[in-house]
Amino acid sequence: DGSYTVRWSATVADTYLVVASLRGFQIVNSPWSFEALPAAASLDSSRLIDLPAAFAVGARLVFHGVVHDAYLNNLTSKDVVTAQVTSVQSDLSRLSNDLQVTSCAVLDHACAVRGDNLTQAAYFEASTLITAAGTYSVDIQIQSLSLRSSPYFIRAVAGPLSVRASTASGEGVAGGIVGRALSFTIYARDAYGNRLADGGAAGLAGGF
């Protein structure tokens, strides 16, 4: 019937110029341009980049990730990225915290958009402040679906010795009777009250 159908699929998000011709001559409305947008976020192509295995309490936990579609195109649509860190300890007082997620144009901490929305950027930065030592799980979700390797496990270790947070207890603190041996225990803690197994690497001393 004199009509021709041409089919093709783009794998690179970009603006394309299409030229259509018959017998070597361009048709009336040729050429034309159209924009191929990125596909939906891919859980297989998206990943974390620099999540540390361990970090010190009181120091802000910061890590980055990259979000692509299945063809490794940067996303330019608004895709929601959420992150949550949850303690795996049995202590219910250390429950969970939502990480602040920031959209970053490049991985130089020059963040263009504040909030939970990833807008015109493939990179995101997540950060939170943890003060309780222990093991934590980090769950990264894109459009409410977890990344393939999520959750990730990290360890928060106690900070340096704080003499203001360390205490002593025992009968040697309360008093005693002459001729009887007295003792007391020093509990070494960091500034957030976390226990230091090695006494803060500075040794413990008690005197009379």
Q: What is the mean pLDDT of residues 48-66?
A: 83
- Looking at per-residue pLDDT, the higher value among 33 and 114 belongs to 33
For residue 199, which phi and psi values (nearest 5 degrees)? 70, 20
What are the DSSP calls for 152-178, one per residue? EEEEEEP-SB-TTT-EEESHHHH---T
SS3 200: helix
SS3 143: coil
- pLDDT computed for residue 196 by the predictor: 86
Which segment of 36-50, 107-121, 130-144, 160-174 scores lowest on mean pLDDT? 107-121
pLDDT tens, position by position, 59-110: 888 887 878 888 888 765 445 677 777 777 655 444 445 556 655 443 343 3
Query: CA dihedral in degrees (81, 82, 83, 84; nearest 10)?
Result: -170
Q: Residue 145: CB partners within 8 Å, gap ≥ 6? A: 43
Mean pLDDT of the chain: 75
Q: Residue 207: CB partners within 8 Å, gap ≥ 6? A: none
The secondary structure of the chain in percent helix, strand, coil, rounded to multiples of 5, reads: 5, 40, 55
Query: Which amino acid belongs to residue 102?
Result: T
Q: What is the mean pLDDT of residues 103-130?
A: 52
Evaluate if residue 151 carries a pLDDT over 80: yes
17 pLDDT tier (thresholds 50, 70, 90): very high
Instruction: Give me the count of residues in the chain.
Output: 208
- Looking at per-residue pLDDT, the higher value among 121 and 113 belongs to 121
% of the chain exceeding 70 in pLDDT: 75
Evaluate if residue 208 carries a pLDDT over 60: no
Evaluate if residue 162 carries a pLDDT over 50: yes
Q: What is the mean pLDDT of residues 111-122?
A: 42
- Looking at per-residue pLDDT, the higher value among 189 and 102 belongs to 189
% of the chain exceeding 90 in pLDDT: 2
